[in-house]
């Protein structure tokens, strides 16, 4: 949120890698980390990485947390927002 995406994106990537290793791909914190990384990609203007990651995260979040979970709804909203920037 401070606008230093050059430093933030690698930190989000490392956090996701660490959470996948320690907690596994299906842990709710891992799902949230994936959403955060996708959001950082979107903020950096990298929609080619953001949209597919949001799509994967939405699928995983719905499966792990349920389609009506607040995290799943947030990911769905983020995906829609990112897709709207593609057009």
Q: What is the pLDDT along the chain (87 residues), one digit of tens a residue?
A: 556 778 889 999 999 999 999 999 999 999 999 999 999 999 999 999 999 999 999 999 999 999 999 999 999 999 999 999 886
As for how many domains the chain has, the answer is: 1
Domain coverage including residue 47: 5-86
Q: What is the pLDDT of residue 76?
A: 97
Global pTM?
0.90
Q: Scan for tokens 């947030």, then name that residue.
A: 74
In the numeric block, which tokens belong to residue 10?
């690698």
Question: Residue 12: CB partners within 8 Å, gap ≥ 6?
Answer: 33, 36, 37, 40
* Phi/psi of residue 68, nearest 5 degrees: -105, 5
Helices (H), the chain: 5-23, 28-43, 47-65, 70-86
The CATH number linked to 67 is: 1.25.40.10
Alpha-carbon distance of 35 to 54, in angstroms, equals: 6
How wide is the angle at C-alpha 41 spanned by C-alphas 6 and 46, nearest 5°? 100
């Amino acid at each position: 949120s401070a606008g230093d995406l050059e430093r933030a994106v690698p930190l989000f990537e490392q956090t996701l890698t660490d959470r996948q290793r320690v907690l596994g791909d299906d842990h709710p914190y891992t799902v949230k980390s994936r959403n955060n990384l996708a959001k950082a990609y979107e903020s950096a203007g990298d929609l080619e990485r953001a949209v597919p990651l949001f799509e994967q995260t939405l699928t995983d979040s719905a499966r792990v947390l349920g389609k009506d979970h607040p995290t799943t709804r947030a990911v769905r909203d983020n995906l829609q927002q990112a897709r709207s920037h593609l057009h």
